[in-house]
Copies of this chain bind each other. A is one copy, B any other.
Amino acid sequence: MTSTDTPRKDLARKPRGFPDKREAVLHAEQTMIAQVTEVYRRWGFEALDTGAFEFADSLGKFLPDEDRPNEGVFALQDDDEAWLSLRYDLTAPLARFAAENWQGLAKPFRRYAAGPVWRNEKPGPGRFREFLQCDADTVGAGGIHADAEMVAMAAEAMRAVGAAEGEFAIRVNTRRLLNGVLEEAGARTSAARLTVLRALDKLDKFGAEGVAELLGKGRMDASGDFTKGAGLEAAQIKSVLMFAEAGRATRAETIEALAKAAGNTEEGRAGLAELEGMEVALAALSVPARDVIFDPSIVRGLEYYTGPVFEAELLKETLDEKGRKVQIGSVGGGGRYDDLVARFTGERVPATGFSVGISRLAAGFAITGDIETLDGPVVVLNFDKSDPSVALEIATELRRAGLRAEAYMGSSGMRPQMKYADRRGAPAVVMAGEDELAKGTVTIKDLKVGAAKAKAIKSNEEWRESRPGQIEVARGEMIAAVRGIVEAG
């Protein structure tokens, strides 16, 4: 900056949809990434990071939200005019990597990845344009047991981040069943298929009646907005709904119901066989019964899926900061995408994967209050602005003993320094003023005990007398005394 620049307060802000994250949220997210990747690693996946950028054409156009610029992707032109895009998920770049390096890879190629993805969507409350995903994929595995492994591992990942039995479910469907239903309903164009799938996706939200309207002429919502329907006949609507509502209490019963509802197409039969095969594999993987549900209404938006699709759902209802009931819903998903590598090579490479939405999951746990606030550092107050050596020495000594500690770095007096320590969540402050230096002591204030006792004190005088939580110890006993306070916390 040159001194002639005019300060611009209007620039001290962030573009919408890109959150700043402070320590508690970051800690929750990083802990979850560590927990999920630990599961992925234990199941034999290895780390790969492909970075933020790909050629726009490499990523392809698979996002459901096509009304946005560049189909919902952030894109820019490189020096040589080539269009680059920021990845919108971790799967499309993996397909590019696998295609580029296929000859040299041990196959099947099993990789995990964790990192930010970017979507150029309309930002809103809880709807971000940059968020974290944590994925595992097996590329080069066509068997249904590879999908079952993803489903079982997804359940284990949910447990690893702290969801107990019954608090989550992995919902499973397959695109092939859906293909069969779409075929019987006569939805053959890609637009017609999309309208029917979008209608199915709303079963949770609008119920059977609302979906029936969306499958037929269309649906008017409470505000008077009209959504044009898929234009199916009554008989077709009935058969689609019978399929969508074939979910039963157990997976075996659902398979039975689907055997009747999935119709008579080749795709429908293939889809049913996939679920039957998955049931066998889930048993071999000892997946607890309640963890996985076969749910014919699961669609998954991304257009590259070709077989089984899965969705991880947090079931437990919680209250938000205003006491309203909130259900987090979907916190991850995945499925089989046998054609994604073939886009590059022409050879069909079967692949399946699962993605945890870390940002969404962490937001869910934040709502429930299950997010840890970390202790701040021990703060060593500074009594000498012109030479802060004493404070620096004490902080150094505390750190060398393995304690988290800092010397106060600002230029304010004692009261602001105490306030600073308080706001940082310091478990203790250490003071060595002239008195203490002369005596070879330090004064240590236990801020947690202090805060508790302070509530019970009424007058300023009483305060000065009792000095809650404050002790004076010989300098040689400082480490032990501070450690005692920190560890008691």
Q: Which residues of A contact B (CB under 8 A)?
A: 1-2, 5, 7-9, 11-15, 18-23, 26-27, 41-55, 57-58, 60, 69, 74-76, 78-79, 82, 84, 86, 96-97, 99-101, 106-108, 110, 116, 118, 120, 129-130, 138, 140-143, 145-146, 148-149, 190, 280-281, 283-286, 304, 339-340, 342-346, 374, 376-377, 379, 385, 387-390, 392-393, 395-396, 399, 402-407, 409-411, 420, 423-424
Contacts and interface: CB of A to CB of B under 8 A. Distances in A.
Given A26-B47, A52-B130, A76-B75, A149 B409 contact: yes
Nearest to A82: B15
A366 B302 CA distance: 38
Given A42-B399, A343-B5, A58 B190 contact: no
A410 B51 CA distance: 27
B47 A23 contact: yes
A51, A143, A286, A411: residue with the most chain B Cβ atoms closer than 10 Å: A51
Contacts of A20: 48-51, 97, 101
A284 B49 contact: no
B142 A411 contact: yes
Contact of A392 (B12, B26, B281): B281
Contacts of A18: 51-53
A409 B138 contact: yes
Given A14-B100, A344-B7, A389 B55 contact: no
A284 B97 CA distance: 51
Contact of A116 (B51, B106, B405): B51
Contacts of A52: 18, 52, 86, 116, 118, 130
A465 B23 CA distance: 60
A27 B48 CA distance: 10
Contacts of A340: 1
Contacts of A99: 9, 12
B140 A410 contact: yes
13 contacts: A8-B343, A9-B99, A11-B57, A12-B99, A13-B55, A15-B82, A15-B84, A23-B46, A27-B47, A75-B76, A145-B392, A149-B407, A284-B393
Ranked 6 nearest A-B pairs via Cβ: A44-B406, A7-B346, A44-B377, A284-B389, A106-B423, A12-B99
A389 B280 contact: yes
A279 to B, nearest CB: 11
Contacts of A405: 42-44
A69 B79 contact: yes
A143 B384 CA distance: 12
A76, A138, A281, A346: residue with the most chain B Cβ atoms closer than 10 Å: A76
Nearest to A378: B44
Contact of A404 (B44, B141, B148, B286): B44
A392 B285 contact: yes
A179 to B, nearest CB: 13
Contact of A48 (B11, B21, B283): B21
A361 to B, nearest CB: 16
